[in-house]
Amino acid sequence: MSIRVMRMVAVSLLTIAISSFASAPLAKQEKPASPVSDFYGDPLPEGAVARLGTVKWRHGVGMTKIAFIPGMNRTASAGNHGFGVYIWDSATGLPSQKLQMADDCNSLAFSPDGKLLFTNWCQLVEVASGKIIHQFPATPTLGSPVAFSPDGKTLASARNGLKVLRSIRLFDAVAKTEA
């Protein structure tokens, strides 16, 4: 056989194969099931097939402060732009609670037992419920450092700023008054 005849036979066979494949009904192909979790074991949203990165330890825009919560396997992060305060499970890196704050929270401190949170806006917050249990009469400034005394009975708030006298104010955490 000549090369020309072999090419014609090959083209004819290819034409028959293509036409028979095109006229055959397509088999119903099932969609592959999307994975239930990503590479890190975090659940994916419905319909998602993959995720770039991880959702662990993702506070959001403007994280300004982090702190360990005494006596618990928890970490907290505070931030700007309505992101509030997140309470994280330190072992998994996943959020276990979100405390919504009225204003940006740029500084925070936890009581020695981890049940109370003191913010730069001089708010005393119950961690379990997220409720503000007392607002101290103070002139806080953005990013002012705050602290609990080691016995948990005294709170300290620094006032920093251009128009505010730089000073420290002390509050009685039990009586909820200025010390």
Q: Is residue 126 part of a domain?
A: yes
Is 36 inside any structural domain? no
In-domain check, residue 146: yes
Q: pLDDT tens across 96-155, in order?
A: 888 877 667 778 899 999 999 888 778 888 988 888 899 887 665 666 788 999 999 999
Which pLDDT score is estimated for 173? 92
% of the chain residues with pLDDT over 90: 11
Domain with 125 in it: 63-178
Q: What pTM was estimated for this model as a whole? A: 0.64
Least Cα distance to 125 among 95, 151, 155 occurs for 155
Question: Which of these, 125, 123, 117, 104, lies nearest to 76 by C-alpha position?
Answer: 117
Does residue 139 belong to any structural domain of this protein? yes
144 domain residue, yes or no: yes
CATH of the domain at 138: 2.130.10.10
* 7 within a domain of the structure (yes/no): no
Q: Count Cβ atoms below 10 Å from residue 14 Cβ, excluding itself.
A: 10
Residue 172 placed within a domain: yes
Q: Which bin fits 95, alpha (ψ -120 to 50), beta or left (φ > 0)?
A: beta
Domain presence at residue 12 = no
Q: How confident is the model at residue 29 (pLDDT cuts 50, 70, 90)?
A: low
Q: Domains in the chain: how many in total?
A: 1
Tens digit of each residue's pLDDT (9 = 90 or more) over 135-151 = 887 665 666 788 999 99
